[in-house]
Structure 1
């Protein structure tokens, strides 16, 4: 209900809306309206109240709670069940627990801070409070387990497109799951699966997006390789709730396309947005280091690397430089 009230106040922020109108449009009592307004004020919202005119939203804090996201969300399925926590060990761990307990597809776990955020290959993901988006989405696609890695690439496409739509910033994809702005990492994706031998039970897609961090928010070892949407746009501040709402909208678009028509169009868009394809790169795997030109990805999302002798090497997991 609070999300619907916020949505109404945001839509009418250039004028006043009476308590009676809010009551009628939301189907709640005038007393309930007043209680919700007071709760919004306690959470940092500034609302002007004028007798016989009503309420007007003056200032919106940059929160990512359930109500804030619901107020700007336009999807049909993804994000309709939002689990918000101020602080968690990791959103990925909580999403796994929820998935095992039967959480519906589209459930998303969002936190303001992660104490032990994790990235690909077990690396730590720096997740300070009040600055970025730390979230994990539960999907339940009817696909064989070997196709689940395609959803990592699908998510990379959606996040890259969402950054452009929400901020007008051009981002690109570094295989397989890094989102770059000016060659620095601003987002990462971690996809994990719960499955049986022949079917996927759930895919947990973890996303970490640096939104409003400034340079002082990054530890020294990340200063040369990390950035944020704000740093990339002369310290402009972005609504984190709006960014996540656009990400979910683009994810739903590509997920529906994937379920209906397969991976082909996703693959084409990934290659279009990729900064890796066509470049000479070095791929470091657990066993060896390979140099060559990235030619594209397979239908399974595997990177194809043409070595100097002309042979094609398939790269399943590696650090790319």
Structure 2
């Protein structure tokens, strides 16, 4: 972490950047979250290696027998020098353009009871972002297992890590990265890098919330997502993913489409994606019957986008 302040994004960095609101207004964020977290639970820092790593270390040091259920901390950073996503991919952001934060919580569920948590998190994120732009709600969708899409582009990513688990509880850190404003310079850099790798291994192209909500800003985005995540954690703690499966399927981007599962570019399975089951497994209708695919180090692509 550093206390050295960043300069606001330059006016030409993105068409929708505004120099007056590139930082997070802490009090407005808490008010917008309807008091979902305690005043001292929200931390905003200029820079850190990884907000997930910060909170994982904190939760691992927590006395397990006395750990209270619910949210313990929310930590946001304008820049992460070692931010990461699923499958160990790096997560790159520019201050003022993307919202990156982690939420640490204790759930009254053992490790086996956490199945589907990343998908439930996706439901909370996509529904909260869609509420910010209700007229554009149909443009928001979910890609299995845990990507949030806008017009087919990747709007947000989720990384779930477990600090510890007992027979009755688990300490979890939920990392969320949301592209709030377009960063044309970074997009051009990613496009150039993608052109150098095989098409089947390329990541989904990025999208930004400002494409659906021109005045999108980090403060209001943080507020609505934290409130949604807090509500999700409370419900998941008592009901598990079963309470979210219908909501996930309602936002399924590839519902009834032919898809391909890839591992480092190698095809593992192909079929019609019909949805997910009560534990968050992908249901894939194939020529030999319905396969259930557990979340893991695989990539999902529309068949039209795969070799």
Bin of the TM-score, shorter chain as denominator length: 0.7 to 0.9
Contact 2:280 2:294 in 1 (8 A): no
1:69 maps to 2:35:
no
2:60 aligned to 97, 100, 123, which one?
100
1:151: how far off?
A: 1.6
Aligned to 1:267: 245
Contact 1:194 1:200 in 2 (8 A): no
Contact 1:115 1:127 in 2 (8 A): no
Distance 1:269 1:313 in 2: 19
The equivalences for 1:15-54 within 5 A come to: none
List gaps (5 residues or longer) in structure 2.
1-6, 9-18, 193-203, 302-307
Distance 1:201 1:260 in 2: 13
Aligned to 1:229: 209
SS at match of 2:274: strand
Distance 1:79 1:190 in 2: 25
Distance 1:193 1:216 in 2: 34
1:61: how far off?
A: 2.7
Distance 1:260 1:196 in 2: 16
Q: TM-score with structure 1 length normalisation?
A: 0.74
Aligned to 1:172: 141
Q: Which moved more, 1:185-194 or 1:59-68?
A: 59-68
1:140 maps to 2:106:
yes
Could you list the per-position Cα deviations for residues 12-69 of structure 1 after superposition, in whole angstroms to 9, with x for gaps in the alignment?
A: xxxxxxxxxxxxxxxxxxxxxxxxxxxxxxx99xxxxxxxxxxxxxx95332254442
Could you list the per-position Cα deviations for residues 198-248 of structure 1 after superposition, in whole angstroms to 9, with x for gaps in the alignment?
A: 454311100000001232232433587111111344xx2322111111112
The equivalences for 1:1-321 within 5 A come to: 61-64=21-24, 66-77=26-37, 81-102=41-62, 105-106=70-71, 107-168=73-134, 169-170=136-137, 171-196=140-165, 198-222=167-191, 225-233=205-213, 236-285=214-263, 289-317=268-296, 318-321=298-301
Aligned to 2:201: none
SS at match of 1:146: helix
**Larger relative contact order (CA 8 Å, sep ≥ 6):** 2
Instruction: Give the total of aligned pairs.
Output: 263
Residues 262 and 201 (structure 1), Cα distance of their counterparts in 2 relative to 1, 3 Å cut: closer
Structure with larger Rg: 1
Q: TM-score with structure 2 length normalisation?
A: 0.77
